[in-house]
Amino acid sequence: MDFNYSPQDEAFRNDLRTWLEANKRHAPAPRNMMAEESDDDWKDRVGWHKKLNEGGWVAVNWPKEYGGRGATVMQRLIYREELQRLNLNEPFIGMGISLLGPTLMHWGNDEQKRRYLPSILKGEEIWCQGYSEPGAGSDLASLQTRAVADGDDFVVNGQKVWTSMAQHADMIFLLVRTDPAAPKHKGISYLLVDMHSPGVTVRPLVQITGGRGFNEVFFEDVRVPKKNLVGQLNNGWQVAITTLMFERGGGGGEGVMGEVTELAELARRVRRNGGNAWDDPGVRQKIAEFASDAMALKYTGYRQLTRQLKGLPPGPEGSMMKLCNTELALRIALYAMELLGPYSQLEYGADFAIDKGKWSLRMLAARGPTIYAGTNQIQHNIIGERVLGLPKG
């Protein structure tokens, strides 16, 4: 990998840095993303998205014709670095920018692109992802939500689950079964559904962290115009896979080193056997092990980036990154509990909790990433079959 930046990359960095310095006051204060979110937190997040969009700093990797900057992979990395440098978050207000927008660019017709892409950029319509069902997660193609043609509409009945941000969403991209007689991958279609339609009910699911980030969504005789079909009827599986590709591609390797640094800093503060935990060589050894793993992940991430810069399709690094990254984060979170001893039992925000209880919240939240975008067991299967050439399980 070439670690040098081109003059265009440097210009991109300078423009962004100048804009961020001038506008960072509009960014919401850093908050624990896993904690319960108030209505004001959400409004601040949407407001920051809109501000960034005014400067043309949302969806920088989208092509210019769709309102992006056509940023290269390297510039995308610079974008993250510059936000991190100021401890700012890339606003995440649903699945429009990262998942639906790029999918529509591939599969949407002109009218769909014109209708939906600008409102995603402007943060005017919030999107959620309607894939998982009570009986269809890893085996997604078993989904049962039905859409039946009726005049100019489809009529949708069924249930989705684990739908992140459905409580805020205006729209959902929905996988439905349109041909129950066809083999399961062949009878699926991809619809764009207005969440404000009659017959849509959203019920929050309270997570172990106390947050209400995801939901059950019920569809009862919901009418969806046929023009909201993306791609061909019964060919939705291909469209769905495109979306999944963007979802898995998004699971990067950044950030874990920051958690190791925080853990080392915690070890210097918590008491153990009459001194600080850091005085114990066993503790330092463990933290060094996490740091080595995080460095290895960082360079594996660069290898993935190199493939992308050379225009090669995503390699098996994507699954390895997703697997190792999420498991390392989980191991770090669990080890923090060991360091905290009895203090680990205090909840987020409790009196006397060290660091306001962020470690126990992180520990509870750290399982989620091992599940979404394809569980880690599924990633093991992919690595076994496609990297090691093992027979299908």
Ligand X SMILES: Cc1cc2nc3c(=O)[nH]c(=O)nc-3n(C[C@H](O)[C@H](O)[C@H](O)COP(=O)(O)OP(=O)(O)OC[C@H]3O[C@@H](n4cnc5c(N)ncnc54)[C@H](O)[C@@H]3O)c2cc1C
Query: Active-site residues: which are they?
Result: 247
Binding-site string for ligand X from residue 209 to residue 248, where x marks contact by CB under 6 A and - marks none: -----x----------------------------------
Segment 130 to 169, residues that bind ligand X, using CB under 6 A: 130-132, 137-138, 162-164
Cβ atoms of residues 217 and 166 within 8 Å: yes
In Å, what is the CA distance from 98 to each residue of 34, 60, 393?
19, 11, 32
Q: Which is nearer to ligand X, 139 or 221 (CB)?
A: 139
Q: How far is the CB of 136 from ligand X (least distance, A)?
A: 7
Cβ atoms of residues 68 and 141 within 8 Å: no
Q: Which is nearer to ligand X, 175 or 267 (CB)?
A: 175
Segment 283 to 342, residues that bind ligand X, using CB under 6 A: none
368 binds ligand X, rule: CB under 6 A:
yes
Q: Under rule CB under 6 A, how many of the chain's residues touch ligand X? A: 18
Q: Which is nearer to ligand X, 205 or 270 (CB)?
A: 205
Q: How far is the CB of 50 from ligand X (least distance, A)?
A: 22
Q: Which is nearer to ligand X, 27 or 361 (CB)?
A: 361
Count CB atoms within 10 A of the CB of residue 207. Answer: 16
Q: How far is the CB of 163 from ligand X (least distance, A)?
A: 5
Binding site for ligand X (CB under 6 A): 128-132, 137-138, 162-164, 214, 368, 371-372, 375, 377-378, 381
